Structure 1
Amino acid sequence: MRGTVYPRVSRWREKPMPDTKRIVIAGGGRIGLRTAQELADRGYEIVLIEKEEARSDEVADEYVAMVLQGDATAPSILEQADLKRADAIAALTDEPGTNLAICMEAKRIAPHIRTLARTGTGTEDEYDEIADATILPQELSANTAADILSGDEVRTIIGTHHDLEILEIKVAEDAPVAGHTLAEISLPKGSLVISDRNRTQIARADMELEPSEYYIVGVEPDVLDEVLNLFRG
């Protein structure tokens, strides 16, 4: 079946800038749609592929992505998604085998593309040569998938549907906090460094924030941008 580009996409919430990252999502189920919404909120251009016609209609009505109706394992459908212009593809269907097949075909068409596959229980280490990243069903959330696809140096542990976000943040080499102890820096009220990435110790005043290292940080939404600027420059 040839993919159908739905004309509704002309009503995207925002026209992407020319240098906006383009991400393709295969699978328009609950997680696929929520991941598309999360990435659209971050400013990414999204193409979503959904096999079932009725579901693709529902997804198109959300106006968060260009929707292709068709089988994402088919080369013709992936070609329509214009993978050569895309930065990443996430295969998030309910079928692990299908997801791996999508990633393999995507790499054949566009060798540069970053791939993420939803896999089965206990298989997360078995497909390094097929997909750049895999994620298990029990770990799968829209925030986590979006973090992996975007390549950002911030990973969401508890997201914005809570009053407090818990993030894993990498300290950039030229960040204002790099090389300083917690006693030497002034974090905004409503934020707290909890521990290092390995959770080996609770953060204390003499903990030095080392460049290129990750830290667990609790942040209230109102000060999120300020905290990210301190850690990322």
Structure 2
Amino acid sequence: MSDDLRVAVIGSGRVGLQTARLLDDRGHDVVIIERSPERALAPLDEYVATVIEGDATRPSILRQIGLDRTDAVAAMTDTMATNLAVAMLTDRLAPGVRTVVRAPPDDRDEYVEYADTVVHPEVAGARAVTNSVVGGGVRTLEELPGELQLLELTVTERAPVAGKPLSAVALPHGSLVVSGAAGHHIADSDTELAAGHTYLVAVEPDVVDEVTRLFRG
């Protein structure tokens, strides 16, 4: 999958909406399918996603997200039957699309063969769900309280920062490189951001997308 993804989130309750917010913060294209007209208003008000009102277990509704252009479908409703139906329907309609389903912690092993990833956000939180959807290269550390995010970012060959020392990089206000390559030392102005190496970066929500592009290209 590419760095900029198109992700469909099924359900805009607490978990679904927070997952959509985090994905939007990272610069991904988010589509939400929400059955409840009242709940469908929240992501529209926040401008975090395109919203389709309807039942995602119906093929005609699920197809509206544009499965041929979608990288992942995350079924985050609080109804396991809905999440399972969405994953199985996605696999039938678009086998190459990654599926992530929310399940109760005690039932995780029951559903692992029906989706690419099974998560229980009641335990891990929306940041862990987002990591499961997005995959490698960018990972949000999951136990940090508050809105400040701590990202593990791997520099790509095409990244604007690749091969440059921190003193030559114009990071946006609200971001700070914490560690050097592989986390062996605290970063300073001489720290080189080498392609293929991973760095720990503290970011405020408003600059997640900008910082990610600097490191990922």
Compute the TM-score of the two structures, normalised by the length of structure 1: 0.63
Give the corresponding residue for 1:16: none
User: Residue 151 of structure 2 aligns to a residue in which SS?
Assistant: strand
8 A Cα contact 1:28 1:50, kept in partner? yes
Shift of 1:103: 1.0
Equivalent residue for 1:161? Answer: 147
Q: Distance in 1 between matches of 2:41 and 2:209?
A: 35
Residues 191-206 of structure 1 correspond to what in structure 2 (within 5 A)?
Answer: 191-194=176-179, 201-203=184-186
1:54-112 C-alpha deviation (Å, 9 max, x unpaired): 43456656564222222x22334323444233222110011344323311211111112
Aligned in 2, Cα 1:32/1:167: closer, same or farther, shift over 3 Å? same
Q: 1:210 to 1:126 in 2, by over 3 A?
A: farther
Q: Residues 60-209 of structure 1 correspond to what in structure 2 (within 5 A)?
A: 64-70=49-55, 72-121=56-105, 127-137=111-121, 138-141=123-126, 143-150=127-134, 153-157=137-141, 158=144, 161-162=147-148, 165-175=149-159, 185-186=166-167, 191-194=176-179, 201-203=184-186
Inter-CA distance 202–135: structure 2 relative to 1 (3 Å threshold) = farther
Q: Indicate how the Cα distance of structure 1 residues 66 and 225 shifts in structure 2: closer, same or farther if over 3 A, else same.
A: closer
For residues 37 and 43 of structure 1, what CA distance do their matches in structure 2 show? Answer: 10
SS at match of 1:194: coil
Contact 1:191 1:223 in 2 (8 A): no
CA contact (8 A) 1:195 1:217 kept: no
Residues 154-198 of structure 1: CA deviation (Å, up to 9, x unaligned): 222248823xx3111112135466678xxx65366862333766x
Aligned residue number for residue 36 of structure 1 = 20
Whose helix fraction is larger, Structure 1's or Structure 2's? 2
Cα separation, 1, equivalents of 2:61 and 2:206: 41
User: Aligned equivalents of 2:70 and 2:131: distance in 1?
Assistant: 16
Q: Is the 8 A contact 2:177 2:199 kept in 1?
A: no
The amino acid that maps onto 1:114 is R
* RMSD of equivalent CA atoms: 4.1
Cα deviation, residue 133, structure 1: 2.7
Q: Using a 3 Å threshold, how does the CA distance of structure 1 residues 161 and 80 change in structure 2: closer, same or farther?
A: same
Percentage of pairs with the same residue = 41
Mapped partners of 2:102, 2:161: distance in 1: 36
Q: TM-score, normalised by structure 2?
A: 0.67
C-alpha distance in 2 between matches for 1:222 and 1:27: 24
Give 1:33 shift. 2.3
Structure 1: gaps (5+ residues): 1-19
Separation (CA, whole Å) in 1 of partners of 2:102 and 2:78 = 8
Structure 1 SS opposite 2:39? helix
Say if 1:25 and 1:91, in contact at 8 Å, map to a contact too: yes
Match of 2:200 in 1: 216
Number of residue pairs aligned between Structure 1 and Structure 2: 205
